[in-house]
Amino acid sequence: MTLIFFKKEMRNAFVKSIIDLAEEDERVFLLVADIGTYLLREFKMRFPKRFINVGIAEANMIGVAAGLAMTGKIPFVYTITPFVTARCLDQIRVDVCYQNLNVRIVGVGSGISYGRGGPTHHSLTDIAIMRALPNMTVVSPSDPMETEKLIEATGRYSGPVYIRLPLAGDPVIHQEDYSFSIGKAEFIREGKDLALIGNGVMVYHALRIARLFGIEWKSSAVLNMHTIKPIDKEAILKVANEIPLIATIEEHSILGGLGSAVAEVLAENSFQGIFRRFGFQDQFCSQYGEKGELYEQYGISSHNIFKNLSSLLGVQNR
């Protein structure tokens, strides 16, 4: 695979894809909670009767989406991640998941994208919350192209879906011919000494770490686990049978997210190797700053993870 590391935005990819989907399927609606006035202007202009701004009333937005889904529509709800997950948990649980409705919940600004907004705007437990809900599918795409493929796939998918997007400046990993399937992990890089499993923007960091180990003559596999639920057990067990050291990397709490999902599979299948989770510890991210600065402060930058894994592999740090 040819890797192209320049910056684009998954938000723009989402908008492009939902416009294309709405063009093909008149059942597609877009609901927002007083956000994205400029970003979503084209959708609103082209499909005014299928664009609903509920105002700053996120819980009500979920209820409206559930009602639309019960009439056969495919509603997408879009707003800032903590406001569309934690704030709306009961509505998602009862209105959407209990009835197994075709509602797509899109959280933008996931993880610490809003680093200067503080803990009220961070979303480090959203995957844990969403994957605990019966019937919910949880997906965290790694770049704009994967986001486009995901939105396209949701048009054919049955049941609730939670889609986790960062805020801006996302590295591009995939080409247009990338084949995507919900629930099926992607092997981006083969290796034998270490397997790095990431999702979202952390797939890019996993590739950076793999390249650092390549300099040190260690072979690192990289697995893009874009779908956290249902998790691709087959892919996890494949690397578990072939590679002695597995590490997960996520912009999320180490509790309940990707690391926990992978750990569950490994534990239930008697993995005999070494497993490590890299993410935010069981604490609020109380510092303020840009994402890169917070990665360094909380120990999940590429360099910090490389240093930690190097000691396990017996590699002398540079």
Q: pTM here?
A: 0.94
In tens, the pLDDT along 260-308 reads: 999 999 999 999 999 999 999 998 888 888 888 888 989 899 999 999 9
Answer yes or no: do 137 and 11 share one domain.
yes
Helix axes 144-154, 10-24, angle to 10 degrees: 30
Indicate the burial class of 98 (C-beta count within 10 angstroms; 0-12, 13-18, 19 or more). middle
Residue 126 CB-half CA count within 13 A: 36
Residue 238 counted as domain residue: yes
User: For position 315, what pLDDT does the model report?
Assistant: 66
Q: Report, as an integer, the average pLDDT of 140-150.
A: 95
Domain span holding position 240: 186-310
**Angle formed by the axes of helices 258-268 and 233-242, to 10°?**
70
Which pLDDT belongs to residue 1?
43
Strand extents, DSSP E, the chain: 7-8, 28-32, 51-53, 74-80, 104-108, 137-139, 161-165, 170-171, 186-189, 194-198, 220-224, 227-229, 245-253, 274-280
Spatial distance between the Cα atoms of 39 and 198, rounded to a whole number of angstroms:
28
Joined together, the tokens standing for residue 105 give 């919940």
Q: Which of 308, 186, 303 is nearest to 238 (CA)?
A: 186
- The DSSP secondary-structure symbol of 92 reads I
Q: Are 94 and 84 in contact (CB under 8 A)?
A: no
Q: SS3 of 88, please?
A: coil
Indicate which CATH number applies to the domain containing 24. Answer: 3.40.50.970
Give the pLDDT score at 236: 98
What is the C-alpha separation between 8 and 168, in angstroms, rounded? 7
Confidence band (pLDDT; 50, 70, 90) for 216? low
User: Does residue 317 lie in a domain region?
Assistant: no
Q: Is 159 left (phi over 0), alpha (psi -120 to 50) or beta?
A: left
Q: What is the pLDDT of residue 85?
A: 96
Query: What gap in Å lies between CA 254 and CA 23, rounded to an integer?
Result: 39
Cβ proximity of 77 and 51 under 8 Å: no
Closest of 213, 192, 294, 204 to residue 249, by C-alpha: 204
Tell me which DSSP letter residue 225 carries. -
Q: Report if residue 181 sits inside a domain.
A: no
Q: How confident is the model at residue 3 (pLDDT cuts 50, 70, 90)?
A: very low
d(CA 199, CA 226): 5
Mean pLDDT over the full length of the chain: 92
Q: What is the pLDDT of residues 25-73, one digit of tens each?
A: 999 999 999 988 889 999 999 999 999 999 999 999 999 999 999 999 9
Name the residue with tokens 């793999």: 210
- Specify which residues 51 forms β-bridges with: 30
Is position 179 within any domain? no
Provide the residue type at 317 as one letter: N
* Residue 129 covered by a domain: yes
Cβ neighbours around 94 below 10 Å, total: 13
Residues 206 and 232 in one domain: yes
DSSP 119: G
pLDDT at 207 over 60: yes
* 161 and 234 both lie in a single domain: no
Question: Is 11 a domain residue?
Answer: yes
44 and 92 share one domain: yes
Q: Are 227 and 164 in the same domain?
A: no
Inside any domain, residue 111? yes
What's the number of domains the chain is made of?
2
Verify that 65 and 198 share a domain, yes or no: no
Q: Answer yes or no: is 231 within a domain.
A: yes
Residue whose token pair is 């083969």: 190
Q: Does residue 188 surpass a pLDDT of 50?
A: yes
> Looking at residue 218, which CATH number applies to its domain?
3.40.50.920
Please indicate, yes or no, whether residues 39 and 99 belong to a single structural domain of this protein: yes
pLDDT at position 6 is: 47
Instruction: Find out whether 124 and 252 touch, Cβ atoms under 8 Å.
Output: yes
